[in-house]
Amino acid sequence: MQLELKDIHKSFGDKHVLRGMSFTVNTGRAFGLLGRNGSGKTTTARIILDVFRPDQGEVLLDGKRLESDQSRFGYLPEEKGLYPKLPIVDQLIYFGQLRGMTKRAATEAANHWLEVVELSHEKTRKLETLSKGNQQKVQLICALLTDPDILILDEPFSGLDPVNARLLKTIVTEEVAKGKLVLFSSHQMAEVETFCDDIAILHDGTIALSGRLSQIKRSYPQDKVELRILQDGRLVPQPEMLRIVSDLAPERALAEAVGDDLVSLKFQGESERRPFLTTLLNAGYDVDLYEVTVPSLAEIFVETTTKGASHG
């Protein structure tokens, strides 16, 4: 499947939230929609879900206008929408029936997902008695309950510890592999970076940067290297490495400390990387690490949302 948003505009009163926003999401690849707080990520999700109608533009699924009843949606909202005083399994069955499932099918699906997220032993407890992270897992089950074709997750990692964040990634990776269309809306860059193949950064109501994350990173200059070296079988400490770099390449590279035995080199150009490595080896140093570094997604995000996309 391919989900396409074309020239979407949306205003609330005199506030123009979305200004000609366009992007495409494909099955088989997790997509991250990123933006600062108030940038319009949740509005975008609600337009896809047909909760809001755009003032201009259209949402297409496989080239045809997306109608809310044409596909099954799974939605995990940032705002919690469950009943705190009801037993977990009872409300999961209730929500499943509201979305057209038989009671038997809803019960089977609820029990299946409670087992997957390791909450089977808690299913008769009231939601409010669970931790924030476990409440988030119940909310995730609501999104997955009906085996949806399109899964939209708004800040899905909220409240999850590293173990449960990994569980969420495993679940969603499996959904992607089944051919589901998966869209994340988040500002947690580290989680998105390790999980999403494609991204779009929303800024000032439009898409400032989008594409395959690996290609976006490669579009940045490859002129920085992290270096760690050995001499006589020992790691050379950082102050000594800085001196070595200064002696061997006084004009070729700018060095700065990263850790006790790690330095970052910024070359005048990408073509300087290989000659300097040759110089190090010819000088008799054992190079333990010589790795080209690219900006993190967080760095790309800050650049894009503060100065605008300057390349790519």
Residues 208 and 235 reside in one and the same domain: no
Q: Is residue 273 part of a domain?
A: yes
Residues 50 and 197 reside in one and the same domain: yes
Residues 244 and 203 reside in one and the same domain: no
The CA–CA distances, whole Å, from 87 to 84, 110, 130 equal 8, 12, 11
User: What residue type is assigned to position 21 of the chain?
Assistant: M
Query: The CATH number of the domain where 125 resides is what?
Result: 3.40.50.300
Q: Is residue 150 part of a domain?
A: yes
- Contact between 196 and 184 (Cβ < 8 Å): yes
Residues 98 and 62 reside in one and the same domain: yes
Q: Is residue 299 part of a domain?
A: no
Chain centroid to CA 45: 15
Residues 53 and 35 reside in one and the same domain: yes
The DSSP H or E segment spanning 110 is helix 103-116
Q: Which of 129, 95, 98, 100 is nearest to 113 (CA)?
A: 95
Residues 213 and 254 reside in one and the same domain: no
Q: Please say which residue of 186, 218, 250 terminates a domain.
A: 218
Q: Is residue 45 part of a domain?
A: yes
- Contact between 310 and 198 (Cβ < 8 Å): no
Residues 211 and 228 reside in one and the same domain: no
Q: Is residue 153 part of a domain?
A: yes
Domain containing 278 equals 224-292
**Residue 305: its pLDDT value, please?**
87
State how far the Cα of 123 lies from the Cα of 110, in Å rounded to an integer: 9
For residue 212, the cross-strand partners are 198
Domain total in the chain:
2
Residues 127 and 205 reside in one and the same domain: yes
C-beta neighbour count of 124 within 10 angstroms: 9
Chain centroid to CA 80: 20
Q: Is residue 278 part of a domain?
A: yes
Residues 204 and 232 reside in one and the same domain: no
Query: The CATH number of the domain where 245 resides is what?
Result: 3.30.70
Residues 47 and 108 reside in one and the same domain: yes
Q: Are strands 286-292 and 224-231 parallel, antiparallel or unpaired?
A: antiparallel
What are the backbone dihedrals phi and psi of residue 236, each rounded to the nearest 5 degrees, phi first? -75, 125
Residues 196 and 156 reside in one and the same domain: yes
Residues 169 and 267 reside in one and the same domain: no
**Residue 311: its pLDDT value, please?**
47
Q: Please say which residue of 201, 218, 235 terminates a domain.
A: 218
Exposed (0-12), middle (13-18) or buried (19+): which is 256, by Cβ within 10 Å? Answer: exposed
Per-residue pLDDT of the chain (312 residues; tens, 9 = 90+): 899 999 999 999 999 999 999 999 999 889 999 988 888 888 999 999 988 999 999 999 999 988 766 558 899 988 888 999 999 999 999 999 998 899 999 999 999 999 999 999 999 999 999 999 999 999 999 999 999 999 999 888 888 888 998 898 899 899 999 999 999 888 778 888 888 889 999 998 899 999 999 999 888 888 888 889 888 888 888 888 888 888 887 677 788 878 788 888 888 888 888 888 898 888 888 889 988 888 889 989 998 988 644 444
Q: Are strands 2-12 and 56-61 parallel, antiparallel or unpaired?
A: antiparallel
Radius of gyration from C-alpha coordinates of the chain: 24
**Residue 69: its pLDDT value, please?**
65
Q: Is residue 244 part of a domain?
A: yes
Q: Please say which residue of 218, 244, 261 terminates a domain.
A: 218
**Residue 194: its pLDDT value, please?**
82
